Chain A
Amino acid sequence: MQNEMIANVSALLADGKVDRVLGWKRGELGWDVSPAVFHTPRELQQEFVYDRYCGANLSKYLVAECRKGGRLAIFLKPCDRPAFELLVKEHRISREMCHVLEVPCSGSYSYDPEAEEDRLDIRCAACEHADAHPLHKQVEDIEAMTPAERFAFWQGELSRCIRCNACRNACPACTCESCVFDNPASGVAQKAATNSFEENLFHIIRAFHVAGRCVDCGECSRVCPQHIPLHLLNRKLIKELRNAYGEDASLTAFCETDPEPSDVIGGGNRA
């Protein structure tokens, strides 16, 4: 598989069809694979890798890479593809500049050096493509909790947040040029969280901000150094949106005849 991938993109480079390749690069310890940009077949031969540790979704790197010009080859796993489509649809990347190569995935893993074992990334446990579990199983487990249990669950998870912003920075739906949370003058930057409530709010606000645009790639959970299952917030919203607007609901396909949420769900503000 890996050799075939190297051969394919090496040929593209040799034929001048692309001038660089977005892929994954081997690390020092086997499992510490990083996304990388390759310029020559030699670099690919020496450093390219495709294995179970290649969980990183490469799509978002195209936002920066497309601005540098030229043509790029990019490898996309099934769960990376929707992120790519979203970025094209939102005009964040140029479709014409990208040569997409789809690669199969049988789940991505992280290595736990303490336990000395591989761990299947939490998002993969309910992967739509692996059809091992229905997409919303994890959400339904949380919905089945009482409000008090649910509050305690999220409080426990979110209390571990260190506000490193990895979730936001990895998210393909979070591509604002400058985030309001990075602007000290905004009054909401929250760099010094005065209480844990702010951490909770940050994640809930972010989930709503990307609602309808989240492609469920699960990068937020994969990159979280504190192992908070953030993708579950997004999955809950995906589930609600699908219930209300149907399978293909997306806020990026807005048109003026779209119904108001209160008309679809009922209730609303009609008193």
Chain B
Amino acid sequence: MRKLSLVSLPLLFAAIDERMPLYLPVRSDGRVEFTRWMGGQDIAFTGNTDRSAKDFFFPQSEELMRLRREGKRVEVLDTRREAEDFVLFGVRPCDVKSFDILDSVFLAGPVDSYYATRREHGVVVSLACHLPSSTCFCSAFGIDAADPAGDVAAWLAGDTLYLRANTEKGERWLAAYDTLTEPSDENAIADLQQIRDKVSALPLAKLNTAVFGGDKLATFFDLPDWESLSVACLGCGTCTFVCPTCQCYDIVDFYTGHGIQRLRCWDSCMYSDFTKMAHGNPRTTQRERFRQRFMHKLVYYPAEHEGVFGCVGCGRCLRKCPQALHIAKVMRTLGKED
């Protein structure tokens, strides 16, 4: 474990950014977003970003390739640029966990090379969640906000930042800044329990996940509650776009006049044209689309991933859904005992 005084933090950030672009949560105009470090910014060490960190590995829109036609010949062009190394600093424990879920989808064969390249080039420095918000419920999904994963984990205690490498990649990365940090005792961070106490006292910490799981399809699929749960759903894509684990996409071709530009973009199971086939969308009502999203998080994903849920309790759907239709309401309603 290494440590450095917060006074020296700008020096560390400058050194990091000199080697590779550094992105960290910056507060601006009442919003917090991962932003390229440039010094003098209001860095958000507490709370979470408005958008999740998935953008860095799975951007909202990206070009996959181009096709060029000349006469009867069609040429396939790989338009990818050389990937550059980058650092994501201050990723919260919930969002770090979301990378595992994205990995399980994109890195399971056939490997998604676009995603894999970004993952290889990105160093994730997580930050323990010192001030969780009332919309957080990561502990319900078994995430320890006091001891996050990531290549390197960081803690703030008093005027000191502690850094601990979790992976080999993290060890190599952290060693590059040995001149700026000093060795520290593993047990130097005293407030781990304090963080856990704060998290377990949150209003949604006791959300019951035990009633959900991969074998619960028949239990929940036909419940009449889906009607009252989804009646106010606008069918917008907000929940899926702000969700750190939603990973559905569409592939779209643009005709450029002399060829094709092929793009991949986020898609949303809330949309009427999602998974559109010759006969249309297999889910013809908003109730079915709404059910799909929550069944995916709580039943379908765990069915295929050894019981791991597809939600990390970041609470973005609680804050962002225009009509406040969020996963906590769904879990409470479906899991009620009567």
Contacts and interface: CB of A to CB of B under 8 A. Distances in A.
Nearest to B203: A29
A130 to B, nearest CB: 22
B312 interface: no
B329 interface: yes
B272 A182 contact: yes
A223 B273 CA distance: 22
Interface string A194-236: 1000000000000000000000000000111111000000000
Contacts of A165: 235-237, 271
B232 interface: yes
Interface stretch (B72-80, B91-99, B262-270): B262-270
B238 interface: yes
Contacts of A56: 232, 322-323
B182 interface: no
B265 A34 contact: no
B135 A113 contact: yes
Interface in A30-80: 31-37, 56, 61
A193 B238 contact: no
B234 A169 contact: yes
Nearest to B276: A184
A113 B273 contact: no
B234 A29 contact: no
Given A182-B273, A183-B273, A32 B318 contact: yes
Interface string A92-129: 00000000000000000000011010000000000000
Interface in A155-195: 162-166, 168-170, 178, 182-184, 189, 191-194
Interface in B184-225: 203-204
A36 B322 contact: no
Given A34-B324, A223-B236, A182 B271 contact: yes
Given A28-B332, A191-B252, A191-B265, A61 B232 contact: yes
Contacts of B324: 27, 31-34
The 6 closest A-B pairs by CB, nearest first: A223-B322, A192-B265, A166-B236, A32-B324, A192-B263, A35-B232
A189 B236 CA distance: 15
Interface of B: 30-32, 47, 50-51, 60-61, 133-135, 203-204, 228, 231-232, 234-238, 241-242, 250, 252, 254, 261, 263-265, 267-268, 271-273, 276, 315, 318-320, 322-326, 328-329, 332
B231 A184 contact: no
A193 B326 CA distance: 27
Contacts of A61: 231-232
Nearest to A226: B50
Nearest to B319: A113
Contacts of A36: 228, 231-232
Given A36-B232, A182-B272, A192-B61, A29 B135 contact: yes
Contact of A162 (B47, B204, B241): B241
A247 B315 CA distance: 44
Contacts of A227: 30-31
A56 B204 CA distance: 24
A114 B47 contact: yes
Interface string A114-153: 1010000000000000000000000000000000000000
11 contacts: A31-B324, A35-B323, A113-B133, A162-B242, A164-B238, A164-B241, A192-B250, A194-B61, A223-B236, A224-B322, A225-B320
Contacts of A28: 203-204, 328-329, 332
Given A29-B134, A192-B265, A193-B61, A166 B271 contact: no
B88 to A, nearest CB: 19
A193 B60 CA distance: 9
Contact of B234 (A32, A114, A223): A223
- Residue in A34, A163, A165 whose Cβ sees the most chain B Cβ within 10 Å: A34
B135 A170 contact: no
A166 B250 contact: no
B252 A192 contact: yes
Contacts of A169: 234-236
Contacts of B47: 114
Given A28-B203, A28-B328, A193 B265 contact: yes
A235 to B, nearest CB: 20
Nearest to B264: A192
A28 B232 CA distance: 16
A27 B329 contact: yes
